[in-house]
Amino acid sequence: MLVVLTKNISPHDTDMIRAYLKDHGFAVRDQAFGDTALLGASGKGQADIRELSLLPGVERVAATSKPYELASRETQETDTIVSIGQVKIGGTRISVIAGPCAVESREQIFETAARARESGAVMLRGGAYKPRTSPYAFQGLGMAGLEYMKAAGEAYNMPIVTEVVSPELADRMNALTDMFQIGARNMQNFELLKKVGSLGKPVLLKRGPSATIEEWLLSAEYLLAAGTKDVVLCERGIRTFETYTRNTLDISAIPVVKALSHLPVIVDPSHAVGIRAKVASAALAAIAAGADGLTVEIHPNPDAALSDGPQSLYPAQFEKLMRDIEALSPVVGKELLRTPRSPERAAAPSAAAPAADGAAMPVAFTGESGAFAEQALIRAFGEDAGRLQTKTFSAVFDAVLDGKAAFGVVPLENSLAGSVRENYDLFMRYPDVTIVGEIKLRIVHCLIAREEASTDSIKTVRSHPQGFSQCEAFLAKHPDWRLETWNNTASAVLSAAKETDAVAIKTVAAIASDAAAKAHGLKVLKSGIETDPRNYTRFVILARNDGNGAPVPPSMGERTPDKASLVFSVKDEPGSLYGCLKILSEEGINLSKLESCPILGQPWNYLFYADVNIPANAAVFDDAIAKLKARAVSFYFLGSYPASL
């Protein structure tokens, strides 16, 4: 049950309520639901609800409707993000775990780890102890296999996850593994769940082949009640009448569980289908359905694998799958997680450079909480990144240049509205600020208002001019609405949230993202009101270039820069632009964008904004840039960075 506390409860009263619950046999935990402080009480305790309600500081007592209290979204509104070293599962990132079904030798697990890491996996999986249907099948190498796996994980900076099959082994394995896996066969081995949960380490809980969703969540409840706070649910297919695949992947379980529980959900497509050729399709379907990650079986030579070879991907197949996931991620509003590949890089700060006092510096963006720029920031740096809100784009550049922010995030181009010229101009005014990454964010606009409002009551709508233009078809259906322009979409939502006039509360709405609605406590009246759903904004990540190379944001990992942005002008004579473009063509450099814009104060003279792909041979690119500089009247190199797919 949940004990809702009064707003200004004293510490003494809180302690008295906590003591009352413990005396009556409950396990007590501190919680929050929005701005409301709660005490959660779980276990087999018994108490008189009426007596509890009369204690000082108790506003009300609510019984949860789910038997899995700790795992239920009723007791925790926000999504849990499980951290295993630098790996985070949940939130806006897609985390991929890869490795063989079983550790067969030191050489095999090291080779697999190397290939998985090179393709982008962030955790290493593998079985040291293998529960098998046949007593004569390969059962794993035991502790020796786990030691090999731990060494491979450390060599490639990959936390490891491995299955524990009995309570007796849990203590022995605890020092070597970073995350325990409870296999499908052991999902309802309650003594094992209680033992593993008591160790407090992150746990990957696979769904049993015949388990209902409620039974699966109740198994998670065992782990949470025993002591661990970090449980990741893994859908790996259920047993049905269909025999063509090994199991039937329950795609519908992903959105269902995410609505019922705050725990992250990943999918094991390898065990779900059991057929190598079908794994990639199932994996991509899982990402499209909202999974927070995948665990995939790969093997250097699947045909010779001692366990589950037919469902294990060849390294080349896994590499293609990772590229497909990277391309799909922005469509579902997420980013593929990347982490440093070497332990040395991992030891250094990655999300932001340290400030003078040792604290991590924030990332700057323009707008209020819930702004699209903040969503791009979260995609690049994660939910835990410190944030510095600014009023203008130039303030973002100033914060980066002055060392108040380690990075900045600004929009550079929208797929419908075109380039943000102001920010191109700012790059030329701030030559020590450079582009180090990019994020392409799908823009989904919503009509947002106070709880008391409805679509029929709206009279005034506030948003940024681009928000209005991108929702033109929807607004045309409501010609009587008055449109008010604001600096950005999130600020428009904030203004509606702050309205105190009784009439305005019911009649004012804003156009912005659902994240802005959530950030400011408003409701979404209608989602997806943009005229063209193919509406993307390309945000760039800024860093200060002090001559030693600007830092790289964590979402870029150790990827090699393969894209560059340039601005240049040419002489006012025949063939001048052609001459510049010819240089790129002759060097085999692909031009992915070219746009002209008038130069302020110089009528009929133009700047050209260009994006180019950097070839594998960096010397060729450097030579072409040198020739282009010599040919152009003015030249600005805005930065080189990994392209966002």
CA 393 to chain centre: 25
Spell 231-264 as b/e; 16+ CB within 10 A means b.
bbbbbbbbeeeeeebbbbbbbebbeebbebbbbb
Alpha-helix residue ranges (DSSP H) falling in 35-105: 49-53
Burial class (CB in 10 A: 0-12, 13-18, 19+), 359: exposed
Distance from C-alpha of 222 to C-alpha of 192, rounded to nearest angstrom: 10
Q: Which two tokens stand for residue 146?
A: 């786990």
392 catalytically annotated: no
Task: Please choose, from the candidates 629, 336, 367, the residue with its C-alpha nearest in 3D space to the C-alpha of residue 492.
Answer: 367
Largest CA distance in the chain: 90
CA 388 to chain centre: 20
Q: Which two tokens stand for residue 269?
A: 């497509």
Is residue 61 within 8 A of residue 87, CB to CB? The reply is no
The DSSP 8-state label assigned to residue 241 in this structure reads S
- For the chain, the first-to-last Cα distance in angstroms comes to 46
Going by their DSSP bridges, the two strands 446-449 and 508-512 should be labelled as antiparallel
539 catalytically annotated: yes
Is residue 302 within 8 A of residue 313, CB to CB? The reply is yes
Residues across the chain = 645
Find all residues with CB under 8 Å of 85, minimum gap 6, and list them. 159, 178, 346
In terms of phi and psi (left: phi > 0; alpha: psi -120 to 50; beta: otherwise), the region of 519 is: alpha
Burial class (CB in 10 A: 0-12, 13-18, 19+), 423: buried
359: part of which helix (H) or strand (E)? Answer: none
Please report, for residues 108, 314, 317, 328, the alpha-carbon distance to residue 302 in angstroms, rounded to integers and kept in the order given: 11, 7, 12, 27
Catalytic residue among 366, 390, 537, 621: 537
Burial class (CB in 10 A: 0-12, 13-18, 19+), 601: exposed
Task: Please choose, from the candidates 402, 530, 536, the residue with its C-alpha nearest in 3D space to the C-alpha of residue 472.
Answer: 530
Catalytic residue among 318, 539, 568, 608: 539
Distance from C-alpha of 569 to C-alpha of 576, rounded to nearest angstrom: 9
Q: Which two tokens stand for residue 514?
A: 């659902």
Query: Would you please indicate which residues are annotated as catalytic (active-site) residues?
Result: 537, 539
